[in-house]
Amino acid sequence: MILETLLVTAPDWAVRHSTVLIPIVPLVVAPVLAMSPSGRLAWLVSIATTAASLYFALLTLAIVQSTTGGVISYHIGNWAPPIGIEFRVDSLNAMILLIVTLMGFLASIFSWPTIVAEISKEKAGLFLCAFLLCFAGLCGVATTGDAFNLFVFLEISSLSTYVLVAMGAGRDRRALPAAFDYLIMGTLGASFYVVGVGFLYAATGTLNMADIAAQLPALGANRSVQVGFAFIIVGLGLKAAMWPLHQWLPNAYAYSPSFVTMFLAATATKVALYALIRWMFTIFQPEFAFEQALFTWVLAPLGMAAMVICSFQAVFQTDIRRMLAYSSVAQVGYMILGISLGTAAGVSAGLLHLFNHALMKGALFMAVAGICLNVQGTTLRDFAGLGRSAPFTMTAFAIAGLSLIGVPLTAGFISKLQLGYALFEQGWWWAVLLVVFSSFLAVFYVGRVLQAVFFQPPANPSKLRKEAPLLLLVPLWTLALANLYFGIDASFPAGLARDGAVAALGLEAFQ
Amino acid sequence: MTPEMLIAAAICLPVIIAAGIAAAGKFPNLREGVTLIGAFALFAVVVQLTLLVAGGARPELYIGEAIPGLAFAFKLEPLGALFAVVASGLWIVNSFYSIGYMRGNRERNQTRFYICFALALCGAMGVAMSGNLFTLFVFYEVLTLSTYPLVAHKGDAAAQRGARIYLLTLLGTSIGLLLTAIMWTWMLAGQNLDFVDGGLLANANLSPLVSSALLLLFVFGVGKAALMPFHFWLPNAMVAPTPVSALLHAVAVVKAGVFAVMKISVYIFGDELLHATPSREFLIGAACFTIVLASLIAMTKDNLKARLAYSTIAQLAYVTLGAMLADHAGVVGGSLQIAAHAVGKMTLFMCAGAIYVATGLTNISDMKGLGRKMPLVFIAFFIASLSIIGIPPLAGDWPKYELMQGAIDDQHDWVVIILILSSLINIAYLLPIPILGLMPPPGTKPLKEFKRPGGAPALTVAAPLFTAALCFVLFFMIDPVSDFLEPAFATIEYFHGVDLP
């Protein structure tokens, strides 16, 4: 409904170029921000930029939904693929683009108070420049239809992420080793990816994803294709924090500036996961024998291991941001498990959880950011008694936390139910027990925080934390209410996830 | 009002009352006024709904569905109406009692107490009126979460520990087992969770293995039914103030549990499928085991509330037993037990609370001769004990009679022996309390004077007397009650697998 009006009212140039404008606008604005004389001005510009990207992403979604076949193919510089670079958007990446731009927009709104508290007003321009570059890179990964171009965008986002993480050094010096770790691991992942693309290029002579997909079946069980596939999966798996390639994530999340943590948690792993899905389902076909083996014997066990082991680790964290970081790895495990089923129900459950997880982790990290504003420190003890002094912030935290557990009437419940359905459909009832067990662990780690927040007296009453500023509360509550709304009426995200799964698997999987 | 509006009112009223209590928090008299008026209003709404149900209608309210097949919907049938009437009716009595108890005991945080109480009633109403498993699960969790602050009310280490066990056991079983079972059912029934006459899964062609596993997940997943080994939360919940133990842990919470078991037995499985499910035999055994063992443990407890808690565990297993016997007399007996045990056990808890307010005593061994000082309380206790034991003319007699009938119809003759044994143990652990209280053995030192000047507040004495009288009334009213329930069980056979001559 809203999307349709958007489509009708949009100017002609926007409709024609919306796909490419999503990453280009922030990419062009970013260097300008670096030269901005005032931090506050840079902030306002960054809001406008992400809002523009959000607008174009919504427009793209509207176009995708209204065209038959649901694919937009945009040829950069009018060079026809496979020679030129193609931007290709279907229901799958339209959904991812919506998540990234929406979270980017909300993040940029609340960035100002955290920048003032944790970075400095003078560096705001540079900081936001890095943020927009990262944002543009993520959007680019999700729009491009070219395997090498994807690598370029991946590197744009990664390089700026290293900078963003390292900016946390002002608050906690441990941000520096965390950024360095991430640099090493991220570069490894990107190199693996590009090596894999190289193998495929050697075998097929093309870099266009659709073209690779068209050529692969003829090649059959070509060894270099299989090796290339393996490299790509590991490379992207590293970026997506697939267990056990997640080691960089907890530190990066715990020590970077709180604004960066929130943005990365809600978007970065999602985009890498999208790229994985793209490779596994659109370019390679799940019918390939080696891919079936990968699903059943590698991805599914890794997903389950992440769910259980990282939830366990989350229970024993004292720092809340680390706890949430481990929980993120566990949640990625749910998504991987759903995707690894390779069925219509499984992939749409994975995608739905991806969407919902962006909402809940975004809200959780945003609430933590609000608490960090006043006093440094995010240990469990620092959170004791906050329910009284910062009720609005902590209520939103509680809602998102319940959604993380998967309590009914929250978004998290719907995606877990879908995942359970998909698993039962395959006869994997024991995997359902693991999902349930991991949810129960979530009860522990979320419950621990909630108990401290609402039932314990403050550890240090003289340094009582205040409510977060309005600039933070508005996006925070937007996300918290979205968690509730999409738990009661999930037709929108469930529809997106279903369309995305159709785009990934082809319509016949749903019959 | 239309039936839809009545159901909406029954669900929303407790929430509105909670908001009203919060708003009136600064003025205790006004606050309690809100509770009382709200309780009466809720009861009136529920009675209206019940009259509609008695007239053959099935009031429904459909809110919408989150995803296709996962609807948020209410539908009231006789069994739910019975539970709703019991819970909302006894809430009125309990509200009067709470006022006497909480003021007499000078408890802190009374506003929070009343708010959570109202929210718990919202959960109970939702469970009673839910039209499908999803809605039932949602309100089941509302009930768990809203009662957690009540259990932790005292705030000291013991209360926090008890409350944590309470929460983790109930959440753990419901998320770990019940939710798994619901997901599985959703899959098996083709994305449908509705309560269907004759059983949702009746035509799903389940293999005995699948239906066995599913039934076990369901029955143990409903932790509130307190079937062993998931019973230990109930004694731990006794750290709560006595009104909470009385209404929630003898009526609303635990009855929501056994009610859910009953609903699952009748409307999800259906009697035919249950009789084709091998694990039913195991669950009958588990229920009997719980009945005997919990009763034996109750004998060893000197703390009055702990003894009553174990007695509750045993009595709840009667309902599970009836649901698992799954023949006509069995489910009728189980359903009557929901009402009869509620009235009786609530009386006992309220007496325990009255004794505590007046004297501060919690141990049975200290209560010898106390009946001389507070005769009315001990008489109420005596009557309710007889009802729990199952002696006519008191309400507790009927469920036992029906359950025995059900056991024989189902060719489980040994269950009758268990039931008789249970009654004998009941006599052993319940009757000595009022008898020694009223007729102390020679040489007992009588209590000199009350800890609280004036003894138990009048409200805390009147309330148990009222419910004790209800035990009599219910005995003679049993015909209308079972006639009312009959349509719910119309499809259930009296005999299974027996060829009648």
Question: How far does the CA of residue B57 sit from the closest CA of chain A (Å)?
Answer: 28
pLDDT at A289 over 70: no
Angle at CA of residue B447, ends B443 and B453, nearest 5°? 170
Any A CB within 8 A of B317 CB: no
The three-state DSSP-derived secondary structure of B49-80 is HHHHHHCCCCCEEEEEECCCCCEEEEECCHHH
pLDDT at A508 over 70: no
Q: Do A424 and B184 touch (CB under 8 A)?
A: yes
Tell me the C-alpha to C-alpha distance, in Å, between residue B187 and each of A337, A350, A486.
Answer: 18, 17, 22
Any B CB within 8 A of A388 CB: no
pLDDT at position A509: 61
Distance CA(A432)–CA(B227), nearest Å, equals 24
What tens digit of pLDDT does each residue of B2-58 get? 888 888 888 888 999 999 888 887 888 888 888 889 999 999 999 999 988 888 888
Distance CA(B15)–CA(B10), nearest Å, equals 10
Which class for B461: exposed (0-12), middle (13-18), buried (19 or more C-beta within 10 A)?
Answer: buried
pLDDT at B260 over 90: yes
Q: Which of B160, B168, B180 sits opposite A432 (nearest CB)?
A: B180
pLDDT at B290 over 90: yes
pLDDT at position A465: 62
Give A172's DSSP letter: -
Residues whose CB is less than 8 angstroms from the CB of residue A414 and which lie 6 or more positions away in sequence, other chains included: A352, A356, A486, A487, A490, A493, A494, B66, B67, B70
Distance CA(B213)–CA(A140), nearest Å, equals 49
pLDDT at position B297: 92
pTM metric for this prediction: 0.82
Any A CB within 8 A of B180 CB: yes
Largest CA distance in chain B: 72
Q: Do B183 and A447 touch (CB under 8 A)?
A: no
What tens digit of pLDDT does each residue of B75-115 get? 888 899 999 999 998 888 888 888 888 887 777 778 888 88
- Sorting pLDDT into bands at 50, 70 and 90, what band is B128? very high
State the average pLDDT for chain A: 85
What tens digit of pLDDT does each residue of A462-503 get? 666 677 788 888 888 989 999 888 888 888 888 888 888 888
pLDDT at position A511: 60
Distance CA(B379)–CA(B384), nearest Å, equals 9
Average pLDDT of the residues in A49-75:
86
Q: What percent of chain A has pLDDT over 70?
A: 96
Q: Which amino acid is at B389?
A: I
Q: Which amino acid is at B477?
A: M
Question: How far does the CA of residue A372 sit from the closest CA of chain B (Å)?
Answer: 28
pLDDT at position B288: 92
**Beta bridge partner(s), residue B60:** B75
Cβ atoms of B460 and B350 within 8 Å: the answer is yes
Q: Do A408 and B134 touch (CB under 8 A)?
A: yes
Which class for A76: exposed (0-12), middle (13-18), buried (19 or more C-beta within 10 A)?
Answer: middle
pLDDT at position B361: 83
- Residue B131 half-sphere exposure, CB side, CA atoms within 13 Å? 19
Angle of helix B478-485 relative to helix B78-104, nearest 10 degrees?
Answer: 130
- Sorting pLDDT into bands at 50, 70 and 90, what band is B498? low
pLDDT at position A139: 92
**Beta bridge partner(s), residue A436:** none
Q: Which ipTM value was assigned to this complex?
A: 0.71
Q: Higher confidence at residue A203 or residue A289?
A: A203
The residue of chain B nearest to residue A488, with distances taken between CA atoms, is B66
Residues whose CB is less than 8 angstroms from the CB of residue B205 and which lie 6 or more positions away in sequence, other chains included: none
Q: Three-class SS of residue B337?
A: helix
Q: Which of B64, B66, B191 sits opposite A487 (nearest CB)?
A: B66
What tens digit of pLDDT does each residue of A332-387 get? 999 999 988 888 888 889 999 999 999 999 999 988 888 877 766 777 777 777 77
Cα B111 to chain centroid, rounded: 24
Q: Three-class SS of residue A82?
A: coil
Average pLDDT of the residues in A212-229:
82
**What are the sequence ranges of the domains in chain A?**
286-511
What tens digit of pLDDT does each residue of A79-108 get? 887 788 888 888 888 899 999 999 999 988
What tens digit of pLDDT does each residue of A24-44 get? 899 888 888 888 778 788 888
* B263-292 residues touching A, CB cutoff 8 A: none
Q: Three-class SS of residue B293?
A: helix
Angle at CA of residue B221, ends B219 and B224, nearest 5°? 85
Any B CB within 8 A of A509 CB: no
Q: Which residue has the tokens 């490379």?
A: A235
